[in-house]
A and B are shown apart, each in its own frame.
Chain A
Amino acid sequence: MKILVAVKRVIDYNVQIRIKDDGSGVVTDNVKMSTNPPDDNAIEEAVKIKESGKATEIIAVTVGEEKAQETVRKALAVGADRGIHVKVDGTIEPLAVSKILKKIVEKENPDLVFMGKQAIDDDCNQTGQMLAAHLNWPQATFASKIEVNDKSLQVTREVDEGLETIEVNTPAIVTCDLRLNEPRYASLPNIMKAKKKPIEQINASDLGVDTNPRIEHIKIEEPPKRKAGIKVASVEELVQKLKNEAKVI
């Protein structure tokens, strides 16, 4: 069984983002970047499945600018076997990413495609579902547990009401929740070894996919700031303020 894992390079989750003065976007120069957190869970799950003997190969793929390759290299360091970097500059929307990934799936014929449920930069939560649609494959989104059977998966999904379990036949797409597993750190020897693993470079333009954005970003701005609050000295004072000032209890 072959697993394709899609990863995205985003501003690190610990960074407090800054908005460009002209409102055209978010400052990314000299900002720490890393792999989108739930994509780390996707890689980890694929590696665990391979370690259990149920998968034979893991391919990590990313779509993005030159430096996006770093996320593939990191995936290789925690256990992916080889990488694919689809190069494209500028903004690329989930719809275009999903069309590119479809081309990669057709080329590689994986049994499973894993990725994070949502990227923490644009917060779109679309790519996995869109890829499933293009391929006419089943989708198991927001997975917090995956059981691999012979020709199917049993996936526990985190939904608003609690947990839901579905069974999907393979090939299938799974989008991963942060609670699926605990991603491992790459060891130094594995980081060294990863440098020798191959990363194939493909230009998005060679795949015949239209990557032009359909959505115009007219303005990016700071959200309204909250008025500064106060510290209260005691529980009594807190309750009095909530009752008499804020009038919420």
Chain B
Amino acid sequence: MSVLLIAEHNNKEVKPFTLNAITAASQIDQDLHVLLIGSKVDDVAKSLSEVPLVKKVLHIDHEIYENYIAENYTAAILKHADKYSHIICSANTFGKNLMPRVAALLDISQVSDIIKVISPDTFLRPIYAGNAFATVKSNDERKCVTIRPTSFEAAETTGGSAEIEKIDAADQTENTKFINREEIKSDRPELGTARIVISGGRGLQSGENFKLITDVADKLNAAIGASRAAVDAGYITNEHQVGQTGKVVVPDLYIAVGISGAIQHLAGMKESKVIVAINKDGEAPIFSVADYGLEADLFEALPQFLEELNKLNTIQK
């Protein structure tokens, strides 16, 4: 039996995490089909068909899928689910919203947020904010699995030529209506996939002071993250939150500034390759995960940091 991956996209292009989920799905079974549900998404279907790991693209195109509504997606997925051993998608807000609805209707106990495929029925997943790893075996005949995207490499996007099969839409729900999405456009790299992330916490003391973070981010071509405390205090908007209930990031370099390092924040960043902590409290728990800790007042350290980076002048966009 093949596996079915649900693609995330914005009707123009595939979202990057879908490529990480494709890698994970192909480790479960190489006969990987991707289900694309959208409106006027011929281009997206084509780009998915060029992903070498993808064996077939199922393409449902209808205006009712212009905006992503879990109820509508679920109805479409259920029409085809019985042909597959696994239904898979990424464990970001897209997949977290969608997969349990599908799993419940298939009477499958979902395996959420896996970080490793051990075998087609056994997976590794973090629990308790990543403070424990659980090896779990699903005894359901078929599985619903969500993938932690940052734990798998992104799949190659060129060289493949999978068949694209157009299939019919399902019924539309009357009970849920999309109103709008406030998407903050930015030229910076996306938080989830950036090579460098610099995050600010309560130590920044105000939204204006986040400029100190922004300046360094511009220099390093880094994404900007934040602790929950900084988001709660209104210093910065929610899509920047890193942590157990925010985003999980695994950059090459994570710089935590004015962040004390609550368990819930560490859950979102402690797998980063190199971690830097800048905090004036030498006892702050963030230092316990930092490769390089600098005990200093961030209001002095950040401008100096920028100055030193300017001296290097080797940063490439």
Contacts and interface: CB of A to CB of B under 8 A. Distances in A.
Interface in A193-228: 213-223, 226-227
| A contact face: mostly helix, strand, loop, or mixed | mixed
Contacts of A47: none
Contacts of B70: 129, 139, 141
Interface in B234-266: 237-239, 244-245, 247, 252-253, 263-264
B173 interface: yes
A125 interface: yes
Q: Among the interface residues B98, B181, B192, B270, which one has the most CB atoms of the partner chain A within 10 A?
A: B181
A83 B92 CA distance: 33
A68 interface: no
A133 B74 contact: yes
B131 A223 contact: yes
B103 interface: yes
A188 interface: no
Contacts, number: 259
A22 to B, nearest CB: 14
B294 interface: yes
A144 interface: yes
Given A139-B71, A217-B135, A246 B253 contact: yes
Given A163-B182, A221-B133, A95 B245 contact: no
Interface string A30-56: 000000001000000000000000000
Contact of A178 (B245, B282, B292): B245
A229 interface: yes
A134 interface: yes
B109 A214 contact: yes
A123 B181 contact: no
A167 B177 CA distance: 5
Q: Among the interface residues B104, B105, B228, B274, which one has the most CB atoms of the partner chain A within 10 A?
A: B104
Contact of B264 (A13, A132, A241): A13
Given A229-B293, A231-B294, A238-B294, A215 B93 contact: no
Contact of A248 (B69, B99, B131, B253): B253
A214 B136 CA distance: 10
Interface stretch (B44-52, B54-62, B300-308): B300-308
A163 B177 contact: no
A157 B178 CA distance: 11
A129 B315 CA distance: 45
Interface in B92-150: 92-94, 96-105, 107-113, 122, 126-140
Given A94-B109, A160-B192, A248-B273, A138 B132 contact: no
Interface residues on B, range: 35 or more
Contacts of A217: 134-136
A119 to B, nearest CB: 10
Given A38-B245, A120-B129, A222-B133, A159 B93 contact: yes
A247 B81 CA distance: 46
B304 A16 contact: no
Nearest to A168: B176
A149 B146 CA distance: 34
Interface string B276-307: 10000010000101111111100001001100
Interface in B166-187: 173-184
A164 B239 CA distance: 11
A179 interface: yes
Nearest to B128: A17
Contact of A166 (B130, B177, B264): B177
A70 to B, nearest CB: 20
Contacts of A118: 245
A157 B69 CA distance: 12
B275 interface: yes
Contacts of B245: 38, 117-118, 177-178
Contacts of B312: 239, 243, 249
Nearest to A210: B107
A166 to B, nearest CB: 6
15 contacts: A17-B132, A95-B103, A125-B96, A132-B101, A140-B176, A158-B93, A166-B69, A167-B179, A172-B175, A221-B133, A223-B126, A238-B305, A239-B309, A239-B312, A248-B252
Interface of B: 69-71, 74, 92-94, 96-105, 107-113, 122, 126-140, 173-184, 192, 196, 220, 228, 231-232, 237-239, 244-245, 247, 252-253, 263-264, 270, 273-276, 282, 287, 289-296, 301, 304-305, 308-309, 312, 314-315
Interface of A: 11, 13-14, 16-17, 19, 26, 38, 93-96, 98, 117-118, 120-134, 137-142, 144, 154, 157-169, 172, 177-179, 213-223, 226-227, 229-232, 234-236, 238-239, 241-243, 246, 248-249
- Rank and list the top 7 A-B pairs by shortest CB-CB distance, nearest first: A129-B100, A130-B104, A133-B104, A214-B109, A126-B100, A229-B291, A165-B179
